[in-house]
Structure 1
């Protein structure tokens, strides 16, 4: 299957001499040198990436990195100097004006940072604006607007004016307007940047919740790395118009491409980037029935571990520790000890997508954490020491190197 969106060798030069600037770029000149010699500004330089259907693809970088220029080229607001922008194979970069208008009406919607709502229109009318442009009849527009407002929790305010809503609520209206036309691709240009931190966090979580149902293809622009790491299935980091690295949050944090990216991720809370799935290992288990204390001790000795899970079928019924079993062997008051007598039934659990910061407390108890599914079946375990080692980030925030060392560690 081809990607929903494919960007190939995209350039944007601002100024009167783009051809001269392009020649200098191909000769290896830098952005500052091109500006000094031609007066042209390199907005985007040789950007290439693909976005799969249903993916949140985050583009992040500091001010002036080219991210906003890039997103505006994706829907034709800014024409590229060179390159291709393919939506299901249709090239936005070379589309005729009529085709570009159709693409904007039907295939791409944009959510802006500063809401861009019509103050004299009702919330429902604002949400239905794109449908009005497409010539959809008023009753149908109204019905669709109410449907989307229900999704974002604003149906009771359908007939209010934007001035009656808080900033966070107005941004939900902007999101609803983008969703109302049911576009193939949703472009979000720093949509939460003007919100207070707490409201911004709420909107981020709301977007993730909506995405589980809507499964939209989203290109999300931000200058906030924490936001990028939270939202992005993959992240592209830009600097001076170039994409310097594309990867998952885990790949970028563990294996930064260069010193620029390494500086970005140096102070990231790794516990909010990595999940149980990143540190889990095969579970050491024994069946509750037909396993003696001596057999369990011997297994732990052979495997070099201090605890193992005791199973009833596919479900863990408890965990036993080497210390407790060894003590029961020496207890003269219990001549024939069993696993059940040493069983710890109050054991820590997690699922595969639990973030590591949620394991700070459970890891402190010293027991391996059981990774279970929705039916309480044991999938794997997380050793407390592995959590702490991974969170320390020892020797992982170094720029990527050539060869085998370039792989995530």
Structure 2
């Protein structure tokens, strides 16, 4: 398998001492609750291994106490691991000295928290440039870079304002700008949008996806919001009791949940929204292929419906080589949707 931007290998975090005894119990297969009963120690992360590829948004999900926020704090070593390795571009972060770690955070790693953590006495521009200031960048250069990123998120006109003059959504944008201004290849985002109302949260998700299309950073994003994870995640990792239960694309996890915990997690989601053109094909071949409207097999259900609106002829589904895989009609979409919902109801 190709190596990732981040490689996490057999990572553990134990709170409350007795680490050696706790590790022995965990490696013998004991669960978090039993370990706590026998030792009084809390298991934050239990033998977690995964890889994050460059340029993807990797979402960590789980119920409260599942270990997702502990895990993201281990990755940037705000917390020290009890055992295991964290590699960033092949460099083992668990072996870095405090000075090397500070240099890495200034140069290549940014973190965005739920709280905006802006400095009230500083302007938007100064807040946005703060990471660069800490890194020793000269005032003129850091202000130019911060202004460039403020421009990207539509906040340049507010550069001279103070945080209290901005809405919550705008404050969170400034927090995002501050993280982006240092031009990190890795961003860690812990419940970054959860303090916002639903409309502002959707706006920030749109902004993140837009910036990601343009800049292709590697992002590890902690969320407890299912819709958010499905919307922004390239892949999703589901955690329970400190363990990693399943990793996969939104589609893979919805279609093939690893266990009942994962299945229950997604039971409130209308999974038909994640159907693609290849799922909606009728077997019949069209009589006329040349010049007929067509879509790619991965085209989303909403895009397919948009294309079908006001159209009298079927849509062709063509693969990358131009071969026709079949056709989509309004009736084929209705048939597939009803089959899908019957199947989903049977599973629940």
Q: TM (normalized to structure 1)?
A: 0.77
Aligned-pair CA distance for 1:354: 4.0
If asked which structure has higher relative contact order (CA below 8 Å, sep 6+), I would say 2
C-alpha distance in structure 1 between counterparts of 2:203 and 2:24, whole Å: 46
Asked if 1:164 is matched to 2:165, the reply is yes
Partner SS, residue 147 of structure 1: helix
Asked if 1:370 is matched to 2:348, the reply is no
Asked if 1:153 is matched to 2:131, the reply is no
For residues 279-318 of structure 1, the aligned pairs below 5 Å read 279=279, 281=281, 305=284, 308-312=286-290, 315-316=291-292
* 8 Å contact from structure 1 (residues 57, 219) kept in 2: yes
Aligned-pair CA distance for 1:267: 2.1
Q: Cα 1:38–1:184, aligned 2, differ >3 Å: closer, same or farther? A: same
* 8 Å contact from structure 1 (residues 190, 220) kept in 2: yes
Partner SS, residue 80 of structure 2: coil
1:388 alignment counterpart: 337
Asked if 1:26 is matched to 2:27, the reply is yes
Partner SS, residue 64 of structure 1: coil
For residues 91-240 of structure 1, the aligned pairs below 5 Å read 91-240=92-241
Q: Cα 1:270–1:226, aligned 2, differ >3 Å: closer, same or farther? A: same
1:293-339 CA distances to partner (integer Å, 9 max, x unpaired)? Answer: xxxxxxxxxxx73x725244xx217xxxxxxxxxxxxxxxxxxxxxx
Partner SS, residue 192 of structure 2: coil
Aligned-pair CA distance for 1:35: 1.0
C-alpha distance in structure 2 between counterparts of 1:267 and 1:260, whole Å: 13
* 8 Å contact from structure 2 (residues 3, 51) kept in 1: no
1:355 alignment counterpart: 300
Aligned-pair CA distance for 1:101: 1.0
Aligned-pair CA distance for 1:353: 5.0
* 8 Å contact from structure 1 (residues 262, 397) kept in 2: no
> Is there any run of 5+ residues in structure 1 with no aligned partner, and where?
284-303, 318-348, 400-409
* 8 Å contact from structure 1 (residues 256, 397) kept in 2: no
* 8 Å contact from structure 2 (residues 45, 71) kept in 1: yes
1:217-241 CA distances to partner (integer Å, 9 max, x unpaired)? Answer: 0001000111111111110000111
Aligned-pair CA distance for 1:174: 0.9
1:281-300 CA distances to partner (integer Å, 9 max, x unpaired)? Answer: 5x9xxxxxxxxxxxxxxxxx
Q: Cα 1:16–1:364, aligned 2, differ >3 Å: closer, same or farther? A: farther
> Cα RMSD (Å) of the superposition?
2.8
Aligned-pair CA distance for 1:32: 1.1
Q: Cα 1:68–1:78, aligned 2, differ >3 Å: closer, same or farther? A: same
Q: Cα 1:226–1:259, aligned 2, differ >3 Å: closer, same or farther? A: same
Q: Cα 1:198–1:76, aligned 2, differ >3 Å: closer, same or farther? A: same
Q: Cα 1:152–1:363, aligned 2, differ >3 Å: closer, same or farther? A: closer
Partner SS, residue 23 of structure 1: helix
C-alpha distance in structure 1 between counterparts of 2:245 and 2:65, whole Å: 14
Q: TM (normalized to structure 2)?
A: 0.90
C-alpha distance in structure 1 between counterparts of 2:57 and 2:197, whole Å: 23
Aligned-pair CA distance for 1:363: 8.6
